Amino acid sequence: MKILHTADWHLGKIVNSVHMTEEQDYVLQQLVEIIDREKPDIIIIAGDLYDRAVPPKEAVELLNRTLTKIIQDFKIPILAIAGNHDSPDRLEFGNQLFRSQQLYIESKLTSMLEPIVIQDKSGPVNFHLIPYLEPAEVRAFFDDEDIYSHQSAMEAIVNKIEQENNMNERHVFIGHAFLAGGMESESEERLSMVGGSPYIDTTLFQNFSYVALGHLHQAQRVMDETIRYSGSILKYSFSEAKHKKSITMVNLDKDGEVHLSLIPLIPKHDMNIVEGYFDQLINDPIEKNDDYLHIRLLDDGQIVDPMNKLRKVYPNILRLERVMRTSKNGLLDLEQIRKKQTQSHTELFASFYEEIKGESISEESKQKVEKIVTSLLERERRE
């Protein structure tokens, strides 16, 4: 069976006040061309079809146009799940009707965690569609108070799958999660860490032939070649400037062995970081001067209106920075920023509380904050 694995389309994304819909349309047309050329048997979209719970009209139209073309022109089953940016309720609309057209969208835990079974000439392949879920949702689903973290939530789900299925058959897990060991970038929204770490241990997935993941934007394997993030279809922050965007082609043989290849996606406009002196950048422009650019100026002296002057040469500047000599204090500030980027919502509030009050937050107050944050996150995903 030949499987195309993609994820993290983030339709409706805005990067530095620039709407990316035209760029996304361009790269999704490439995806359609790849499907036409490679003729996969299955297409997987592992979450974050949209960039936010209420996507703009243009994003909805682009998704509808793309999925309709794939279904009508190629008649290939599409297996998609909700990511942490998607609204489960909106993606759930019409999903039973869409199944008649082989479009399977899973946005919530189904009652029996039943797989989508698709046959090839060697027999059944079981696809398990597990959307992004907060631990509280899984705790309520299983009525198990011991589920308190993303790890324990995924343990419960995988245990249920293994209990209900013959794991000697071929099984493909489709998920949207943060696996320990994965490399993240700035454009991923951190998964909720209320009640514990967002990380999930890869050893949970050892009985699956292939694990198709979404959430991390860099195409990568995690500990094992068969546990993979396909990465996003475009660069969505300058921290991804060196990424190579692609889709993953998976050939699953009759014994469950996997053979992989990556097919590159070429953007209409790339995203790059350029460093240099003002006069040099004006008089000797870089080759691809219409890319989305973060320009870092090395000049020490004053420059009058540098952005407008540079924009005449580089029309798609998104960020302009003056590179300063870093002091010891600057390094300490940077370390503090990096530390805060890894903290949960509750930990950030606790740090703020301690800074303002001069004392640590009590455990009772911390638990109240956790409940409030969980409630707000759940409400945001429903809206």
176-233 pLDDT, tens per residue?
Answer: 999 988 776 766 666 655 445 688 999 999 999 999 999 999 999 998 999 999 999 9
Confidence of residue 337 (pLDDT cuts 50, 70, 90): low
Q: Which of 264, 284, 308 is the last residue of a domain?
A: 264
pLDDT of residue 187: 64
pLDDT of residue 333: 57
| Pair 133, 71 in one domain | yes
| Pair 253, 296 in one domain | no
Query: What is the residue whose two structure tokens read 């904050």?
Result: 369
pLDDT of residue 163: 94
* Domain containing residue 176: 2-264
Q: How many CB atoms lie within 10 A of CB 172?
A: 28
- What type of residue sits at position 307? M
| Pair 14, 119 in one domain | yes
How many domains does the chain fold into? 3
Residue 170 sits in a domain of what CATH number?
3.60.21.10
| Pair 43, 183 in one domain | yes
Q: Which of 264, 287, 312 is the last residue of a domain?
A: 264
With helix as H, strand as E and coil as C, how does the chain read?
A: CEEEEECCCCECCEECCEECHHHHHHHHHHHHHHHHHHCCCEEEECCCCECCCCCCHHHHHHHHHHHHHHHHHHCCCEEEECCCCCCHHHHHCCHHHHHHHCEEEECCCCCCCCCEEEEECCEEEEEEEECCCCHHHHHHHHCCCCCCCHHHHHHHHHHHHHHHCCCCCEEEEEEECEECCCCCCCCCCCCCCCCCCCEECHHHHCCCCEEEEECCCCCEEECEEEEEECCCCCCCCHHHCCCCCEEEEEEECCCCCEEEEEEECCCCCCEEEEEECHHHHHHCCCCCCCCEEEEEECCCCCCCCHHHHHHCCCCCEEEEEECCCCCHHHHHHHHHHHHHHCCCHHHHHHHHHHHHHCCCCCHHHHHHHHHHHHHHHHHHHHC
Beta bridge pairs of residue 59: none
Reported as a single tens digit per residue, the pLDDT across 48-104 is: 999 999 999 999 999 999 999 999 999 999 999 999 999 998 888 888 889 889 999
Confidence of residue 329 (pLDDT cuts 50, 70, 90): low
* Among 29, 69, 61, 2, CA closest to 253: 2
Share of the chain above pLDDT 70, in %: 90
pLDDT of residue 133: 93
| Pair 298, 237 in one domain | no
In a domain, 358, yes or no: yes
Which of 68-77, 144-153, 197-206, 318-327 comes out lowest in average pLDDT?
Answer: 318-327
Which of 152-156, 183-187, 232-236, 237-241 comes out lowest in average pLDDT?
Answer: 183-187
| Pair 233, 275 in one domain | no
In a domain, 329, yes or no: no
| Pair 179, 94 in one domain | yes
| Pair 233, 189 in one domain | yes
| Pair 224, 297 in one domain | no
Across the range 100-127, mean pLDDT stands at 91
In a domain, 130, yes or no: yes
In a domain, 331, yes or no: no
In a domain, 332, yes or no: no
In a domain, 327, yes or no: no
| Pair 83, 17 in one domain | yes
Q: Is pLDDT above 50 for 325?
A: yes
How would you class 174 by CB atoms within 10 Å of its CB: exposed for 0-12, middle for 13-18, buried for 19 or more? buried
Q: For 41, what's the count of Cα atoms within 13 Å in the CB-facing half-sphere?
A: 15
pLDDT of residue 195: 46
Confidence of residue 247 (pLDDT cuts 50, 70, 90): very high
Confidence of residue 110 (pLDDT cuts 50, 70, 90): confident
| Pair 184, 239 in one domain | yes
In a domain, 347, yes or no: yes
Q: Which of 246, 264, 282 is the last residue of a domain?
A: 264
| Pair 232, 314 in one domain | no
In a domain, 57, yes or no: yes
